[in-house]
Structure 1
Amino acid sequence: MQPMSLLITTCVLFVGSHLALSHPLRPGLASRLGERGFQIVYSIIAIATFIMLVQAWRGMPPEPPIWAVGDILWILASIIVLFASVLFMGSLIGNPALAAPGAAAAAQGAPRGVFAITRHPMMWGFALWAVAHVMVVPTPAQIILSGTIVFLALFGSAGQDSKKARLMGDAWRHWAARTSFFPFARQIGGATPWGDTIPRPHALFGGIVLWLVATWGHGALGYMVAGIWRWVG
């Protein structure tokens, strides 16, 4: 199989397995395996297909960039990844979208920080991370890989809205009514003050640390030097 065909195949397998296990296959498997058993199977398949995808991407031959990449694009991409890191770290605490025992209770609170920005901060973090990579690595292979991540993150978030409404009922519907799918949509529409979007300390400082470590590791592992490390050191 040609490298590009293999990449596309693994992308389809990665997305297809996630969507199938998250929706049509989940009830039957969960009833047979139990919730814990299902989560184990889900995790194994997710990790295996992700490894296959990464290996296919790494096996791509060198490709010329579609557009020139200079400091301006690197600065924009670095800011986007920093924002994505803050969204991700903020999503780890008090997130009703996560499969946690306290999800319904968390949905009763007032949306603050990253949740005032979007009710799916983790998924938007992944999507923005992928967009930033296309900005500075504009090759066909990177576009396909990043497009796969963006599609899975945002389509999966939309599906999660439906699933959570079914599982949590009024608790989720009340949360969804006070939050937005798209980042800053409520602030732009005037429904929520901009001050509510100020990230909480664990999101802000955790996001900065994650961004610094991840971008440093990018160069340390032999990939392109990223973030502030392109201009520092």
Structure 2
Amino acid sequence: MAVLAIAVALFVLTHFILSHPLRAPLVARLGEKGFLGLYSLVAAATLIWAVLAYRAALTQQLWVPPLWVLQAGGLLMLIACILFVGSFLAPNPAMVEAGRLLAKGTAPKGVMGITRHPMMWAFGLWAVVHVAVTGRLETLILAGGIGILALVGARFQDGKKAAQLGAAWAAYAGSTSYWPLGAQLSGRLGWSRAWPGVLPVVIGLALYVVLVMAHPLVIGKATGAVPWS
């Protein structure tokens, strides 16, 4: 279990270090493509090590989830799939070409009306669900690390974009929210903006079904329950 913890810690820490304090000096030395190559290599190597360590770790059951946790987990995974798909189908200034996108206006579209970090929250929900429905220490370490990377990384993204784009990002951030539905609950956006759109829902549902069917083949275990079971 110690090896798994070290591997996950390196996976998370190298992401944070390379994407923030070391990014600028490494880009200056290696160029953008060279930096991205190094970043991808380190990310892949540490993730593979973490997955191998997870598979080798002895199972330590911390709790046995009741049926309602499995059912809630199925629903949250469906939402995660919709957010993940929607992050590719709507303009996302938090990811790339923020300046160009914000120049066209700050009104969020699609899943951006739910959260300005839909992909990161998809990974965060995935992490929470897998920790809750397995109740195992090794899953807590691996999925917890990925969840922390996603959600804390999203906060770091906000800070970096604010420093780079100033007032344009402030206006966009003011019309969206980090927390899902935070803009609706605070009155900054109407509840109609919480609708992700037809395509994200349809494709997200299809992705969810594929994942449920593939889970026992790839992972070796069924997902446990679906929201309507």
Q: What residue in structure 2 maps to residue 105 of structure 1?
A: 100
- Write out per-residue CA displacement over residues 136-194 of structure 1, whole angstroms, 9 at most, x where no aligned residue: 10011111112211211111111101111222333222211111111111211222111
Identity %: 39
Secondary structure (helix, strand or coil) at the match of 1:52 reads: helix
Q: What residue in structure 1 maps to residue 192 of structure 2?
A: 195
Secondary structure (helix, strand or coil) at the match of 1:119 reads: coil
Distance in structure 1 (CA, Å) of the matches to 2:14 and 2:209:
32
Equivalent position amino acid for 1:92 in 2: F
- State whether structure 2 residue 124 is matched by structure 1 residue 127: yes
The structural deviation recorded for 1:213 is: 1.1
Equivalent position amino acid for 2:81 in 1: S
Q: Please, which moves more after superposition, 127-136 or 107-116?
A: 107-116
Question: Which of 179, 182, 185 pairs up with 2:176?
Answer: 179
- State whether structure 2 residue 81 is matched by structure 1 residue 85: yes
- State whether structure 2 residue 3 is matched by structure 1 residue 6: yes
Q: What residue in structure 1 maps to residue 44 of structure 2?
A: 47
CA separation of 1:200 and 1:230: change in aligned 2, threshold 3 A = closer
Distance in structure 2 (CA, Å) of the matches to 1:151 and 1:25:
20
The structural deviation recorded for 1:114 is: 1.2
Q: What residue in structure 2 maps to residue 208 of structure 1?
A: 205
Q: Can you give the 5+ residue segments of structure 1 that lack an aligned partner in the other structure? A: none
The structural deviation recorded for 1:222 is: 4.5
Question: Which of 53, 69, 89 pairs up with 2:65?
Answer: 69
Secondary structure (helix, strand or coil) at the match of 1:223 reads: coil
Distance in structure 2 (CA, Å) of the matches to 1:228 and 1:173:
41
Q: Can you give the 5+ residue segments of structure 2 that lack an aligned partner in the other structure? A: none
Distance in structure 2 (CA, Å) of the matches to 1:202 and 1:31:
40
Equivalent position amino acid for 2:100 in 1: A
Contact 1:114 1:198 in 2 (8 A): yes
Q: Could you tell me the TM-score, scaled by structure 1's length?
A: 0.90
Equivalent position amino acid for 1:139 in 2: R
How do residues 22-61 of structure 1 correspond to structure 2 at under 5 angstroms? 22-61=19-58
CA separation of 1:112 and 1:227: change in aligned 2, threshold 3 A = farther
- Write out per-residue CA displacement over residues 47-101 of structure 1, whole angstroms, 9 at most, x where no aligned residue: 111111111111111323x2222332111001001101111111113111112x3
CA separation of 1:192 and 1:202: change in aligned 2, threshold 3 A = same
Equivalent position amino acid for 2:23 in 1: R
Size of the alignment, in residue pairs? 226
Contact 2:123 2:146 in 1 (8 A): yes
- Write out per-residue CA displacement over residues 15-50 of structure 1, whole angstroms, 9 at most, x where no aligned residue: 110000011100001111111221111111111111
> RCO higher in 1 or 2 (8 Å CA, sep ≥ 6)?
2
CA separation of 1:228 and 1:142: change in aligned 2, threshold 3 A = closer
- State whether structure 2 residue 170 is matched by structure 1 residue 169: no
- State whether structure 2 residue 103 is matched by structure 1 residue 118: no
Report the aligned-residue RMSD: 1.9
The structural deviation recorded for 1:231 is: 8.6
